Amino acid sequence: MLRVKILASAVPLLLAGVVAGGEMIPSPSPCIAIGRASMQIATAPWQNPLRVSFTDDPETATVRVQVVDTADLADFTVIDGTQTAETDSCAVTRDTSFVSIAAHASASEPVIYLSQNRDADYRIFVQSRSFSTREAAALVVGAGRRVRMAERSM
């Protein structure tokens, strides 16, 4: 009888965790390596992510990201199907940072404008089944912000 009560009390907690944004079985999320650290798309609210948002209005953007047609023109490239030397480069460690894509813009968070125009802060090329262009842009902006913060603390 005690086992049934424990099971009955555990099931609502598991369901609450899933509804709150967690996952029963973690799946790999888009990630980039930054030296010994990594930047990942947040999958749970307790990961304390940097939040970014997107806009269709170039006047309200704080960061411009150009989507280019070839990998040679990009600052950051995502292409599926290539093997890398560092297979564990995106393992979650204490140096891992997280970024999430917010539904609405905030004055304290980067607001990204994706375009084909050349006057951009970053240039990306994405040919992937696991990364969307927005996820790649969010990771690049988050990584760029992390690097600038680290340079300020030196």
pLDDT tens across the length of the chain (154 residues):
666 566 556 656 655 555 554 444 444 578 777 777 788 888 887 787 889 999 999 999 999 999 999 999 998 888 876 555 455 567 777 888 899 998 888 888 999 999 998 889 999 999 988 889 999 999 999 888 765 544 444 4
φ/ψ of 40, rounded to 5, equals -125, 155
- For the chain, domain boundaries: 31-152
> Is pTM beyond 0.75 here?
no
Looking at residue 104, its pLDDT comes to: 86
CA distance 152 to 154: 6
